[in-house]
Amino acid sequence: MNNSSHPYNKVSSLKWLGILLAFSIILAACAPQPAAKAQSVPGTVAYTLKTGMGDGKMVFIGVGGDIDGVENPDLKAQPGDMLEITLIDGDGAMHDIVLPDLGAASEQITGKDSQTQIHFKVEQDGTFAYYCSVPGHRQAGMEGKLIVGSGSAPAAATAPSIVLDPANLPEPVGSRGPQKVMVDMETVEVEGQLADGATYTFWTFNGKVPGPFIRVRVGDTVEVHLKNSISSGMVHSVDFHAVTGPGGGAVATQTKPGEETMFTFQALNPGLYVYHCATPSVAHHISNGMYGMILVEPEGGLPPVDREFYVMQGELYTQQAHASKGHLEFSAEKLANETPETYVFNGAVGGLTQELPLKANTGETVRIFFGVGGPNKISSFHVIGEIFDRVFEQASLTSAPLTDVQTTLVPAGGAVMVEFKLEVPGRYIMVDHALSRLERGLAGYLLVEGEPNPDVYEGEAQPGSGH
């Protein structure tokens, strides 16, 4: 059947169309502008937060509205909104509230029930941290999020990790006799994650920082092959401090992109040695991540331990200030002035905390091979809450170790081997005890699991410890 040939249907359709049309005109004339738009008209959004202790840490607690009683509540706003945040001191300690991404910071307040207020405008979608900038308070838990619009920031900078796993070491050489050992390395320039929201073009050995841990024994003849990736923009090389010979191998390994060089050396002196790229400007190549270590075991090897770790310290000189977001650029001027922005263990901020912490159990003995790539800063190496039972100072493995040491000094381009037993479970923080560097990215965790040991340590964790 054909509908269009049916007269009744046609009249009926036209009549309904007319009614609908008239109704629409009346609606349009009487109604205010569409309700949906009224919702997105920018306005003032007010929040009140009170500082306090909750669940064993320090927090901001929401006051009133949807966030009442919520710890570190998500604050919400739309692009174009004016924000008004009132901070009330609920515990009497000194506090403030800052949102550095949005250029907002309150004054610091002290004393119970003292107050402060900040006003600022949000312009674009994104998720922004708010926190207390009093040293240690953010780490103790005073941190939350302001979500503007959809909450997704325009393109947060991400790149693959360049952090070398600190547990990634070859097996001990042990008691074998001297032999020939082949070492293959490749220099690669990669964009990697430097910190949360920040990327950097690292220059590496084998794509990670530090480069691979190389393990030989005294008397071994080592044949080194250095390949420079075809995708490299620079010439690279390698200088092993374990080498007796010109440039530690650097003279023989200046390698153009896409090419390969080689040299051989006999490992005459046992010890733990740094290696690094030695192509001018050497400090620039090292800073960008071109360092690692080679262990030359003494005859008979090292005494066995339960766990070995490989950790190296370095510093980065970026044009942008520490904690900047986006792709960060190298600064030759800051390198020349030895004023780094960021310090790192194993290449990246957070590399040995969130990403790849060291892990062990109570009752175990650990050995850390620790070196400073630098290029410039010495390290006052320390593990918070532990004492080094043995320190092989300057990484000399043929001298008697120092015993019972708190902090050991490691020169730029130098190393140390430390050993200690784990008696008490918990989170131990590796630092350079020049602690301003902790605020610039330099921290690593040693996570120790096991039963509490109250004979050795007993105490309840208090809020604000940052541990």
Which residues are near Cu ion by CB under 5 A? 95, 132, 134, 137, 142, 236, 277, 279, 285, 290
3-state SS, the chain, equals CCHHHCHHHHHHHHHHHHHHHHHHHHHHHHCCCCHHHHHCCCCEEEEEEEEEEECCEEEEEEECHHHCCCECCCEEECCCCEEEEEEECCCCCCECCEEHHHCEECCCECCCCCEEEEEEECCCCEEEEEECCCCCCCCCCCEEEEEECCCCCCCCCCCCCCECCCCCCCCCCCCCCCCEEEEEEEEEEEEEEEECCEEEEEEEECCEECCCCEEEECCCEEEEEEEECCCCCCCECCEECCCCCHHHHHHHCCECCCCEEEEEEECCCCEEEEEECCCCCHHHHHHCCCEEEEEEECCCCCCCCCEEEEEEEEEECECCCCCCCEECCECHHHHHHCCCCEEEECCCCCCECCCCCEEEECCCEEEEEEEEEECCCCEEEEEECCCEEEEEHHHCCCCCCEEEECEEEECCCCEEEEEEECCCCEEEEEEECCHHHHHHCCCEEEEEECCCCCCCCCCCCCCCCCC
Smallest distance from Cu ion to CB 252, Å: 15
CA-to-CA distance for 250 and 238, rounded, in angstroms?
5
Q: Which is nearer to Cu ion, 132 or 397 (CB)?
A: 132
Smallest distance from Cu ion to CB 290, Å: 5
Smallest distance from Cu ion to CB 429, Å: 20
Smallest distance from Cu ion to CB 463, Å: 11
Any bridge partners for residue 370, and if so which? 311, 416
Exposure string of 331-368, with b = 16+ CB inside 10 Å and e = fewer, is: beebbeeeebbbbbbbbbbbbbbeebbbebebebbbbb
Q: Which is nearer to Cu ion, 364 or 439 (CB)?
A: 439
Smallest distance from Cu ion to CB 136, Å: 8
Going from the C-alpha of 229 to that of each of 160, 212, 445, the distances in angstroms are 18, 16, 33
Smallest distance from Cu ion to CB 400, Å: 37
Smallest distance from Cu ion to CB 203, Å: 5
Q: Which is nearer to Cu ion, 273 or 388 (CB)?
A: 273
Q: Which is nearer to Cu ion, 71 or 389 (CB)?
A: 71
Smallest distance from Cu ion to CB 67, Å: 18
Q: Which is nearer to Cu ion, 275 or 370 (CB)?
A: 275
Q: Which is nearer to Cu ion, 204 or 408 (CB)?
A: 204
Smallest distance from Cu ion to CB 349, Å: 22
As given in the structure block, the two tokens for residue 51 are 């500082």
In terms of DSSP bridges, do strands 143-148 and 126-131 run parallel, antiparallel, or are they unpaired? antiparallel
Q: Which is nearer to Cu ion, 132 or 209 (CB)?
A: 132
Q: Which is nearer to Cu ion, 229 or 362 (CB)?
A: 229
Smallest distance from Cu ion to CB 285, Å: 3
Smallest distance from Cu ion to CB 318, Å: 18
Q: Which is nearer to Cu ion, 132 or 311 (CB)?
A: 132
Smallest distance from Cu ion to CB 288, Å: 8
CA-to-CA distance for 199 and 209, rounded, in angstroms?
14
Q: How far apart are the first and last CA of the chain?
A: 81
Q: Which is nearer to Cu ion, 167 or 282 (CB)?
A: 282
Q: Which is nearer to Cu ion, 237 or 313 (CB)?
A: 237
Q: Which is nearer to Cu ion, 236 or 367 (CB)?
A: 236
As given in the structure block, the two tokens for residue 381 are 């190496």
